[in-house]
Amino acid sequence: MSAASDRRPTLAVWKFASCDGCQLSLLDCEEELLAVAGAVHIAQFTEMSRAAVEGPYDLSLVEGSITTYEDAARIQEVRRASHRLVTIGACATAGGIQGLRNFASAGEYIATVYARPDYISTLATSTPIAAHVPVDFELHGCPIDRHQLLEVILAQLAGRSPRIPSHSVCQECKARDTVCLLVSRRAPCLGPVTRAGCGALCPAVDRGCFGCFGPAETANTASLAGRLLEDGARRVDVSRLFRTFNAGAPAFREESLANEPRPTR
């Protein structure tokens, strides 16, 4: 089918600073993938294809954060070429684990890894896509959940809003009858303040949630932090707990900073 006669909506997948895990979730929609490829025209997916078509694209999925001058310019072009733009994953929605540099000085980070810092040009920060261009929908997770991804793609193409829950992991535990780790073991768990979507994977293996889906919409992080401290957690560990893949999401960032050990004078 030639591009001109092809009336299928076009889908593009873009990568910025990331681990590829979120777009791999699209590849992991194994059976669905061949079906999706039939229903939409995957016009730009460098992970998967050598072929590429010029825009405009009906739907762009964007993975990764902005960490270089070139990428800050490139996301503007991607936005211009995209009818709808959806960000996928903690990197794209919150700056990702590489966003930890926002708490340090970039010079310090470069010097740790590279003997010749002058060869490396990078921004001092890792920022989410929405800090640069308007975003039509943000899908959270490190990585995103592939069923949620399919729902978002289908919804975007149908012009309806995606059915993505906004409650917390805590409710997912209740729904699957997982014993509460905070109550039964006093284990540090971010479930009460973390966005649902994974199906409470960690508590199901006796592990406290570490917040890879980012803050839920009404996250009372201060109250949870107080609870963890009462249960014997050290302040520095509470700070660390909020400072991982979604450290750039405002609710987690503030709680992490609030519990940061102050330098002693």
Q: Which is nearer to ligand SF4, 41 or 246 (CB)?
A: 246
CA–centroid distance for 138 within its chain: 8
Counting contacts by CB under 8 A, is residue 101 touching other proteins? yes
CA atoms within 13 A on the CB side of 231: 17
Binding at 83: pick from other proteins, ligand SF4, none (beta carbon under 5-8 Å per type)? none
Residue number, 52 or 218, with CB nearest to other proteins = 52
Q: How far apart are CA 196 and CA 14, in angstroms?
A: 25
Backbone angles phi, psi at 93, to 5 degrees: -95, -20
Residue 146 corresponds to which tokens in the numbers above?
């592939």
* Least CB distance to ligand SF4 at residue 262 (A): 28
Residue with tokens 């470069």: 110
- Cα separation values, 31 from 36, 107, 143, 150, 177, Å: 9, 45, 20, 12, 30
User: Interface with ligand SF4 includes 89 (CB under 6 A)?
Assistant: yes
Q: Does 90 bind ligand SF4 (CB under 6 A)?
A: yes
Residue with smaller CB distance to other proteins, 104 or 158: 104
For residue 27, the minimal CB distance to ligand SF4 (Å) is 13
Is the alpha carbon torsion for 212, 215, 220, 221 positive or negative?
positive
Contacts of residue 93, Cβ cutoff 8 Å, sequence gap at least 6: 87, 128, 129, 130, 138, 139, 140, 214, 246, 249
Q: Which of residues 74-93 bind other proteins (CB under 8 A)?
A: 74, 77-78
Write the interaction track for other proteins spanning residues 157-196; mark x where CB under 8 A is met and - where it is not: ----------------------------------------
Smallest Cα–Cα separation from 126: which of 60, 63, 66, 210?
A: 66
CB of residue 198 vs ligand SF4: minimum separation in angstroms?
Answer: 3
User: Which of these, 214, 236, 216, lies nearest to 225 by C-alpha position?
Assistant: 236
- Between strands 41-45 and 10-15, the pairing is parallel
Token readout for 35 is 């079906």
Residue 39 near other proteins by CB under 8 A: no
Rounded-to-integer distance, Cα 127 and Cα 68, Å: 10
Interaction of residue 142 with ligand SF4, rule CB under 6 A: yes
Restricting to residues 103-132, name those near other proteins by CB under 8 A: 104, 108-110, 112-116, 119-120, 122, 126
- Nearest approach, Cβ of 8 to other proteins (angstroms)? 12
Query: Would you tell me which residues interact with other proteins (CB under 8 A)?
Result: 14-25, 27-28, 30-31, 33-34, 37, 42, 45-52, 54, 67-68, 70-71, 74, 77-78, 96-98, 100-101, 104, 108-110, 112-116, 119-120, 122, 126, 142-143, 198, 201-202, 204-207, 210, 212, 237, 240, 244-245
Query: Would you tell me which residues interact with ligand SF4 (CB under 6 A)?
Result: 18-19, 21-22, 63, 89-91, 96-97, 142-143, 169, 194, 198, 200-202, 209-213, 245
